[in-house]
A and B are shown apart, each in its own frame.
Chain A
Amino acid sequence: MASAARVEDTTFSDLAARQRHPAVDATIKIVKSPVGAGSGVVILILIAVALSAPYVSPFDPQAISRDKFVAPGVEGHWLGSDGIGRDILTRIMYGARISLYVGFLTVGFGTLAGAVIGLFSGFAGGWIDLVIQRVVDAIQSFPAILLAMAIVSVIGPSTTNGVLAIALIVAVNNSRVIRGAVLSVKENTYIEAARSIGASPLRVMMQHILPNVVAPILILVSAGFGSAILIEGALSFLGLATQPPDASWGLMLSRGRESIETSPWLALFPGLAIAVTVLSFNLLGDVVRDVLDPRLRGSR
């Protein structure tokens, strides 16, 4: 009796598991892995800090005070203060807003544009594909950082313009990966079947190809945050993205270099903030990749 009931239970839960949406399954796997859960928590904390910065930060990020170059832990400045007496912890909290803004916008635009170009190029094939791919080649043959500089020098240095420049490069790189995935999906019999029953090209592309290239797109999304934040840091470091007095981590680090020998915390903490943030996104990205594409374990 008892065993029969158990058999029924297993069958039922198996059925429930089978009926779960694949996205739910993948999310459960990601959250259950220690690395995925850990990095996810760090990212959630980061988002919370970024959103609540105006309410929880101990000081005003732009407020100049007489407490110049205060060492960490002194006079309420947990992470010290900078050359004009601004609180480092507060500025790092506000910096999280810029980094996340850059990350989300770049990845969003870069993925969307990349997916559109990649889908179109791969699906159209022929000379359209040839022309698009030569342009992609051309853009990839120039170092990304110099290209971003050239774009920023035209549209002017600011956080949003930095995002535009980075997103354009990310879109180009992503489009190549997505095109590759489209080319392999296109060869499947179900695409031929869809075509043979008279589905329009747009329908084939959106209904049959797109769902099958979602995994590589999600992998690009999860790997994109880290590199977007790194490039924004690099551009700000060179004075080409976020402008003072706004608190971008790259900019803070670059300014901190000037007084590195006497007050190393000015450079140390913003640098650590970038490192920890990018590391969390990269670790989460690895877990997402392992779950979505077990073949690619640990590669990049």
Chain B
Amino acid sequence: MGRYIIRRIVVAMPSLAIVTVLIAGLLRLQPGDVVMARLSESGYLTQEDVDEMRRELGLDKSFPEQYVDWVTGVFQGDLGVSLWTGRDVLETLATRSRVSIQLAIMSMVVAICTAIPLGIISAVKQDSWMDYIARLFSITGLSVPDFFLATMLLYVLSVWVGWLPDFGYTPPWEDPWANMQAFVFPALIVGYRLSAITARMTRSAMLEVLRQDYVRTARAKGLVERIVIFKHALRNALIPVITIIGSQLTFLLGGLVIIEVVFSLPGVGTLGFEAIQVRDYPVVQGVVFFTAILFITSNLLVDLSYAIIDPRIRYS
């Protein structure tokens, strides 16, 4: 098991290297750099001023040199400082990821609590009106853009209900109520889309499992339907369901740019969005590194969870 985990981490290293080089290289192709973006606000400047600032920020070096510097830093636990704000990238990521992690967890709770029951009902009562309603609910979730749902939700709250939650991030330990207000609506919207994906997978996995011989055997030996479905069928249907939830993790932790913008939540997605726009290389690199590590970890955790669900699966 330990050896398996180490091997997986070693195998993932090349991908980590590729994605960091790829994104860093891509951003170097952008016209202009952070110096131009920063100085564009400060009026008349000589070429010397620009060169001076480039040298200070280490941008006068070639791209390979900059990349080697960055990698050396990573091994020393140093992700550099933002070229835009001067703040430590690791610290910024730590602060921003608190928001993203809370939003991801709450969305996943929303999704799992709706998707698994919906998927089960849909599969058990296949082709009934309940199945059709559940499927319509899911496919609508895949089709309605989250930014549209968010816009309309804010409209309904402000105009019809006459109340808007306190937006912006408050840490839960400072003011749990304000924190909940800021998170519950985005979590519902993100959770709905995630639940749509999960419910469809649960339904099809359950349909497949319910046709298996061992389910017929369980029924034949007189087990109550509840036990057949939850103990015998659901457990075997969980593997694809967990895989699909796991595959959404990088999206949940780094891709919720629009939801974070609309609900003014300072998460990792907006951090990446802003950094790309001002060409703040160290911050973009930090975000790439963060999401890539998460991608690798979540894939590993998903695979390891298979062994818990299905004792026949062993890793060595």
Q: Could you list which residues of chain A lie within 8 angstroms of chain B, going by C-beta atoms?
A: 134-135, 137-147, 149-151, 153-154, 226, 230, 233-234, 237-238, 250, 253-254, 256-257, 260-261, 264, 267-268, 271, 274-275, 278-279, 282-283, 286, 295-300
Contact = CB atoms under 8 A, between A and B. Distances in A.
27 contacts: A138-B22, A139-B22, A141-B19, A143-B254, A143-B272, A145-B255, A145-B257, A146-B269, A147-B23, A150-B27, A150-B284, A154-B30, A233-B145, A234-B147, A237-B258, A238-B261, A256-B151, A257-B151, A267-B151, A271-B144, A275-B145, A282-B142, A283-B139, A286-B139, A295-B208, A296-B204, A299-B203
Contact of A226 (B23, B142, B250): B142
Given A143-B254, A279-B144, 4 more contacts: A137-B18, A144-B251, A146-B272, A153-B276
Interface of B is mostly: helix
A299 B23 CA distance: 33
Contact of A300 (B19, B200, B257): B200
B142 A300 contact: yes
Interface in B71-105: none
Contacts of B158: 261
A165 B272 CA distance: 17
A141 B291 CA distance: 7
A234 B151 CA distance: 13
Nearest to B244: A300
Interface in B127-183: 135, 139-140, 142-145, 147-148, 151-152, 154-155, 158-159
A274 B23 contact: no
B148 A253 contact: yes
Contacts of B197: 300
Contacts of B154: 260
A142 B257 CA distance: 13
B15 A298 contact: no
B144 A275 contact: yes
Contacts of A278: 142-145
A141 B139 contact: no
Contacts of B291: 141-143, 146
A279 B22 contact: no
Nearest to A300: B200
B232 to A, nearest CB: 20
- Which of A141, A250, A275 has the most C-beta atoms of chain B within 10 angstroms of its own C-beta? A141
Interface string B277-298: 1010000100110011001100
Contacts, number: 161
A135 B292 CA distance: 12
A238 B257 contact: yes
Contacts of A138: 14-16, 18-19, 22, 292
Contacts of A257: 151
Contacts of A144: 251, 255
A145 B19 CA distance: 15
A257 B14 CA distance: 43
Contacts of B30: 153-154
Q: Interface residues of B toward A: which range?
A: 35 or more
B204 A261 contact: no
Contacts of B159: 261, 264
Contact of A274 (B122, B145, B258): B145
Contact of A279 (B122, B140, B279, B296): B140
A141 to B, nearest CB: 4
B23 A142 contact: yes
B224 to A, nearest CB: 26
B29 interface: yes
Given A143-B269, A146-B269, A237 B147 contact: yes
B180 to A, nearest CB: 24
B273 interface: yes
B265 interface: no
Contacts of B140: 275, 279
B207 interface: yes
A279 B138 CA distance: 11
Contacts of A268: 152
Contacts of B207: 297-298
B152 to A, nearest CB: 7
B203 A153 contact: no
B277 A153 contact: yes
A153 B30 CA distance: 7
A143 B255 contact: yes
Interface string B227-254: 0000000000000100000000011001
B10 interface: no
A298 B200 contact: yes
Which 9 residue pairs spanning A and B have beta carbons closest together?
Answer: A143-B255, A299-B204, A271-B148, A141-B295, A138-B18, A138-B19, A279-B143, A137-B15, A278-B143
B163 to A, nearest CB: 13
B201 interface: yes
- Which of A137, A254, A256, A296 has the most C-beta atoms of chain B within 10 angstroms of its own C-beta? A137
A257 B203 CA distance: 36
A147 B27 CA distance: 11
B68 interface: no
Contact of A282 (B26, B139, B272, B277): B139
A248 B82 CA distance: 34
A279 B144 CA distance: 8
B14 A134 contact: yes
